[in-house]
């Protein structure tokens, strides 16, 4: 156990100002990008979804998960003896996530009564709040960061190096899925610990397949199959004046870009430079572009202009196939009045699953790092995860927990989520891009230029050239 730090860390003002700020909803691990991306991926957690999630994770579900024969004892129990003091823990999410973590903290408090936890729940403008606290040298002891922010925040001096602490808590990393800890590691030191991941699958309205007389795909399908099905399942109103049901929908969001490009093995970020003009990158992004162009999917701008979102189109039966993360499941369970399921994303020349996740960091100014790491070890223990995982908002990073049906719950079929762990975070281009520390600005450029293409204001070739030109002249200049 390490001695408590008593010296405050002065954070350089220039470094703090370099931490870019984004406002907007911070839900379902899709919180770090621009408003367009937030609309695409973080609008799913509505009040109805919160109600649905609350109905899923009951005391019974938590008890069942904790009692499973697969669970492992919390390794931090002995180290918790004698710990005391106050911890501040700041996180985003919807109100149900606030309640989940409140329950988690109460459970920890029962085991470690000497440690007081102040939960700081920030549903909106999370990074604005975090930067304000950093500027005033009052960072929380523990807070969440996205996989796209680790390098940026580490360079700004906001995160503690927890590499040596992980030696005291080997269970935190011993059964973790390969490659994911890399997203919390900067220059060989661990500054943030992945806490979960979302998965990315294709949700299917199987009733629409049955109605059309089309066979429901399985996880061995290809991108060619997907494109063909999207056209077959797109229907028009009786008078033929407009689309009644779309075959699919797209999100102008990083998980979609990374997935489609990665499934063709694209080197879309290469040698420290944006490389979206790569032939395979274009092939992947053309999947999205062509679906909009041929009318099989609405453009993201068309959807947002109506005040709607892609997940709502799926819930209301207006989209047959919808690629998205696990965070939509609580609302689907509550609101879908039709039969639905999920399969793995269709295969191109290969498969990858983007690592969209939340990570836990210990603030650089924390005066109680021993207690902070002990709480994190409890949160990531089997018992701690039992308060969070049955909700189906995210997935565990531990192989033995991933295979526990009390933790990874159905519906939908859990096999696609379990299988994609085998190729999770397998796209080196994404890791290399986020570890530049410029993902926020880079993501903005990609979002804006692809939006122009999806809305018909330019063609895809021009958009990709503009992305590379802007990114390499403004961000990746070395």
pLDDT above 90: percentage of residues in the chain: 83
Position 270 pLDDT exceeds 90 = yes
Position 50 pLDDT exceeds 50 = no
- Where residue 95 falls among pLDDT bands split at 50, 70, 90? confident
Position 421 pLDDT exceeds 80 = yes
Q: What is the pLDDT of residues 67-83, one digit of tens each?
A: 444 578 999 999 999 99
For the CA atoms of 59, 60, 61, 65, what is the dihedral angle to 10 degrees? 100
DSSP bridge pairs for 146: 358
The pLDDT mean for the chain works out to 88
Contact 251, 324 (CB under 8 A): yes
- Where residue 468 falls among pLDDT bands split at 50, 70, 90? very high
Q: Considering the domain 201-354+428-474, what is its CATH architecture?
A: 3-Layer(aba) Sandwich (3.40)
Position 58 pLDDT exceeds 80 = no
What's the average model confidence in pLDDT over 270-279? 98
| CA dist., res. 324 & res. 347, Å (int) | 16
Domains 13-199+356-422 and 201-354+428-474 share a fold: yes
Position 13 pLDDT exceeds 50 = no
| CA dist., res. 82 & res. 85, Å (int) | 10
| CA dist., res. 465 & res. 149, Å (int) | 26
Give which of 363, 333, 339 is closest to 216, Cα–Cα. 339
Position 104 pLDDT exceeds 90 = yes
Position 153 pLDDT exceeds 70 = yes
What's the average model confidence in pLDDT over 140-146? 97
56-60, 102-106, 408-412, 428-432, range with the lowest pLDDT: 56-60
Position 463 pLDDT exceeds 80 = yes
Q: Where are the domains of the chain?
A: 13-199+356-422, 201-354+428-474
Position 23 pLDDT exceeds 70 = no
Q: What is the pLDDT of residues 27-36, one digit of tens each?
A: 333 344 333 3
pLDDT at site 70: 56
Position 96 pLDDT exceeds 90 = no
Q: What is the pLDDT of residues 279-293, one digit of tens each?
A: 999 999 999 999 999
Q: Considering the domain 13-199+356-422, what is its CATH architecture?
A: 3-Layer(aba) Sandwich (3.40)
Pairing of strands 142-146, 185-186: unpaired
What's the average model confidence in pLDDT over 361-385? 97
Cα diameter, the chain? 75
Contacts of 402 (CB under 8 A, 6+ apart): 177, 395, 396, 408, 417, 418, 421
Contacts of 380 (CB under 8 A, 6+ apart): 171, 172, 193, 195, 398
Contact 248, 228 (CB under 8 A): no
């Amino acid at each position: 156990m390490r001695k408590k730090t008593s010296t405050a860390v002065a954070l350089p003002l220039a470094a703090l100002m370099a931490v870019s700020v984004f406002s907007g909803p911070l839900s379902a691990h899709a919180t770090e990008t621009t408003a367009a991306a937030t609309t695409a991926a973080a609008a799913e957690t509505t009040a109805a979804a919160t109600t649905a999630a609350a109905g899923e994770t009951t005391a019974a579900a938590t008890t069942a998960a904790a009692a499973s024969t697969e669970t492992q004892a919390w390794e931090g129990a002995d180290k918790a003896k004698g710990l005391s003091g106050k911890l501040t823990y700041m996180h985003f999410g919807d109100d149900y996530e606030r309640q989940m973590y409140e329950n988690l903290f109460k459970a920890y408090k029962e085991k470690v009564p000497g440690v007081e936890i102040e939960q700081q729940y920030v549903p909106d403008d999370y990074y604005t709040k975090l930067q304000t606290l950093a500027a005033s040298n009052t960072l929380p002891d523990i807070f969440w960061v996205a996989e796209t922010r680790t390098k940026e925040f580490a360079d700004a001096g906001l995160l503690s190096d927890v590499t040596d602490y992980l030696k005291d808590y080997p269970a935190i990393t011993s059964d973790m899925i390969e490659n994911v800890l890399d997203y919390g590691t900067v220059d060989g030191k661990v500054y943030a610990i992945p806490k979960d991941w979302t998965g990315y699958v294709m949700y299917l309205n199987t009733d629409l397949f049955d109605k059309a007389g089309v066979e429901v795909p399985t996880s061995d399908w290809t991108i060619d199959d997907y494109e063909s099905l999207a056209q077959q399942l797109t229907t028009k109103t009786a008078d033929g004046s407009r689309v009644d049901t779309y075959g699919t929908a797209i999100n102008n969001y990083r998980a979609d870009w990374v997935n489609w490009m990665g499934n063709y093995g694209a080197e879309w970020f290469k040698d420290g430079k944006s490389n979206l003009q790569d032939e395979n990158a274009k092939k992947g992004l053309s999947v999205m572009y062509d679906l909009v162009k041929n009318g099989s999917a609405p453009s993201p701008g068309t959807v947002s202009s109506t005040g709607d979102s892609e997940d709502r189109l799926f819930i209301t039966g207006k989209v047959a196939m919808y690629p998205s993360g696990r965070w939509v499941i609580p609302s689907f369970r509550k609101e879908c009045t039709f039969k639905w399921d999920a399969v793995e994303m269709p295969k191109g020349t290969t498969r990858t699953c983007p690592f969209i996740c939340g990570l836990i960091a210990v603030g650089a100014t924390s005066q109680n790092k021993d207690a902070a790491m002990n709480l994190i070890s409890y949160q990531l223990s089997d018992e701690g995860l039992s308060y969070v995982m049955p909700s189906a908002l995210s997935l565990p990073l531990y192989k033995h927990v991933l295979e526990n049906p009390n933790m990874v719950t159905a519906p939908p079929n859990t096999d696609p989520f379990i299988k994609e762990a085998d190729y999770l975070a397998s796209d080196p281009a994404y890791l290399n891009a986020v570890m530049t520390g410029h993902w926020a600005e880079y993501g903005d450029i990609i979002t804006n230029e692809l939006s122009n293409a999806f809305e018909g204001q330019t063609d895809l070739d021009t958009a990709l050239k503009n992305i590379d030109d802007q990114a390499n002249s403004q961000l990746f200049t070395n």
